[in-house]
Chain A
Amino acid sequence: MPHYEPWSEERAQAVIGEFVHLEGPLMPMLHAVQETFGYVPDAVVPMLAEKLNVSRAEVHGVVTFYHDFRHEPAGQHVLKLCRAEACQAAGGDALAAHAEHKLGCKLGETTADGRVTVEPIYCLGLCATAPSAMLDGRIVARLNERRLDALISEAQS
């Protein structure tokens, strides 16, 4: 299970500071912020804007453009189900419906108890052994109902 740090402006400054020497540092900074806190807090936007001498609007525009960046913390575990064509061809639709049913929430939502966030992902590059999923960064191929149930139980425990 990923462990994230509580928000701290000082810590955020330190994290951002590690990348100032790079060419085009904003994306690495945003990734690092999310890796540290589990999401990209609104409070970090003006800090980045000042550091990079760009407007807040520009930073906000970047944060909101990319699917990866979260605007609020996810559930304790994140289960991503591949919904791209190769996984659809191999029975991914039924598995996604099964997961939604079992978890009692739709793709893109978090269970009421805050334990599991289930999300669609568009291609893990495991298309020859489809369908695939990712649980907290761990990849699983040849997904079937039994394996999916095991992943869901693991995420719920």
Chain B
Amino acid sequence: MTIRIYVPKDACAIACGADEVVESIQAAALARKQPVEIIRTGSRGMLWLEPLVEVATPEGRIAYGPVEETDVEGLFEAGFLTGAAHALRIGKPEEHPFMAKQTRLTYARCGIVDPASYADYVAHGGYRGLERALALGPAEIIEEVKKSGLRGRGGAGFPTAIKWKTVADAKADRKYIVCNADEGDSGTFADRMIMEGDPFQLIEGMTIAGLAVGATKGFVYTRSEYPHAIWAMEKAIEAARAHGMLGVNIAGSQHSFDMEVRMGAGAYVCGEETALLDSLEGGRGTVRAKPPLPAHKGLFQKPTVINNVLSLVAVPHILADGAQKYMDFGMGRSRGTMPIQIAGNVKFGGLFETAFGITLGELINDIGGGTASGRPVKAAQVGGPLGAYVPTWQFDLPFDYEAFAAKDALIGHGGIVVFDENADMVKMARFAMEFCSVESCGKCTPCRIGSTRGVEVIDRIIAGERREKNLEVLKDLCQTMKLGSLCALGGFTPYPVLSALTHFPEEFGDTPRRLEAAE
């Protein structure tokens, strides 16, 4: 009897040796004359366990991990094809505490289905959202998205339905759906995982967006650092076309929608929506002044919906199961679920999808298991290179757009990078400024020149040159960048810098305030 084995084709699994494990399994099975069928899935998101190999047994899938190619012979000997005991046996992946604590809506299929298989997607509830969207019509689709409370998952948290309504109301001969998959923030990989693990969901989400606003063409703009995601998306687009779900008269309707994947070229600023549009058009990725909004004059000056991957992939679920079900998750004005990415110096790193409201401490200490190095946690940078460093004494902060904003921090794209006590906060602050100076598109002065001056000022502080004065200059410079920059690159670079300075002043040689009070 042929036994089914599932091995992720996710870039993270491949980087941890999944392809070599597949070869070893094939060789070991051949030697034993045991027919096996290996299905390459996405990742479940328990990334510290990658490569996570799953075997289909009568009791369900049984997982083993992290499997190295040298473990394969031992796994066969132990009888892993029947789900037998082994030091690497995890049991049923969905029962693992890391998975059992999650609310998986967007990532429900990720790691389970074959991302290249249209049939698998449909068998697991795919295209139910589009079916309902076709029955509802544009106005009703937007109303449903509005009711769900979905906010842009790229970082800004702007209500998705308002954006869609603006484009729907705009008159033009051509409109576009652009998916921002330029996931450049360190510590984030949710877009990559969904494109590699469940690409049809993004196609479905973009198709629904197209129906809602009357757009017939979509672009997924992603990074050259993501070759596996590009490959998976292109495969899925081909399959969707072959099944009549992209192209003319999609799903037998009167509507047409088609899409393309486009690759950036290593410019971080192209994750900013207007820079992304310029890049798509074939220009330098420079930020545009707003207005006009992309919703009025976007790609090629046509009305354009530009949404993050995570916003678009939430849509099929909202349409399929209704806005209310999505709305029921979350807190305050942050509704639904957020795929949180736990990374950096952490024991159990991975993707954790949960309703808004969970605290940072729970995520890092309980779910993430603290640092991988075993040393105490010092701080976590949340929201990528432009996100604040949150110190341990603020770990009771709930994951919520407003709660983070109140503490001068941001959720961004939901990435958490954990640092242990060895982290040098002055160096991290300097890195933030340096990164900004390298990646600045150059259009506005506060970002282009401010970041360069920021590096110089921090260097002077490190050298002990007129420390007090230079700290004042640094704070003033951050204020200028924050208020005067055209986009979030210059505008948010002060977050990591100022948070490092505020929470760890002693490292900058500043006299800690509590000591002043004691004198």
> Which residues of A approach B to under 8 Å, CB–CB?
22-28, 30-31, 52, 58, 61-62, 65-69, 84-90, 121-130, 132, 134, 137, 139-142
Cβ contact within 8 Å between A85 and B417: yes
Nearest first, the 9 closest Cβ-Cβ pairs linking A and B are: A128-B349, A26-B282, A84-B186, A66-B265, A127-B343, A141-B15, A67-B266, A89-B344, A68-B265
Cβ contact within 8 Å between A129 and B417: no
A82 (CB) vs chain B CBs: closest residue:
B186
Residues from chain A with a CB closer than 8 A to the CB of B435 are 122
What are 25 A-B interface contacts by the 8 Å CB criterion? A24-B262, A24-B300, A26-B282, A27-B262, A27-B280, A27-B282, A31-B265, A52-B282, A67-B266, A84-B186, A84-B187, A85-B186, A85-B381, A89-B345, A89-B417, A123-B185, A125-B11, A127-B189, A127-B341, A128-B12, A128-B346, A129-B48, A137-B227, A141-B12, A142-B16
Check: B419 CB closer than 8 A to any chain A CB: yes
Cβ contact within 8 Å between A123 and B267: no
Residues from chain B with a CB closer than 8 A to the CB of A62 are 282-284
Partner of A139, one of B15, B268, B346: B15
Residues from chain B with a CB closer than 8 A to the CB of A130 are 343-345
Closest Cβ of chain A: how far from B246's Cβ, in Å? 16
Q: Mark B11-55, 1 if CB is under 8 A from A, else 0.
A: 110111000000000000000000000000000000110100000
- With A and B bound together, what is the CA distance between A123 and B268 in angstroms? 10
Closest Cβ of chain A: how far from B437's Cβ, in Å? 13
Residues from chain B with a CB closer than 8 A to the CB of A61 are 283-284
Interface majority SS on B: helix, strand, loop or mixed?
Answer: mixed
Cβ contact within 8 Å between B281 and A128: no
Check: B226 CB closer than 8 A to any chain A CB: yes
Cβ contact within 8 Å between B266 and A127: no
Cβ contact within 8 Å between A128 and B342: yes
Closest Cβ of chain B: how far from A11's Cβ, in Å? 21
Cβ contact within 8 Å between B372 and A90: yes
Of the four ranges (under 10, 10 to 19, 20 to 34, 35 or more), the interface on chain B belongs to 35 or more
Closest Cβ of chain A: how far from B40's Cβ, in Å? 16
- With A and B bound together, what is the CA distance between A114 and B260 in angstroms? 37
Closest Cβ of chain A: how far from B67's Cβ, in Å? 13
Cβ contact within 8 Å between A125 and B226: yes
Closest Cβ of chain A: how far from B462's Cβ, in Å? 16
Residues from chain A with a CB closer than 8 A to the CB of B187 are 84-86, 127
Cβ contact within 8 Å between B186 and A86: yes
Cβ contact within 8 Å between A27 and B279: yes
B229 (CB) vs chain A CBs: closest residue:
A125
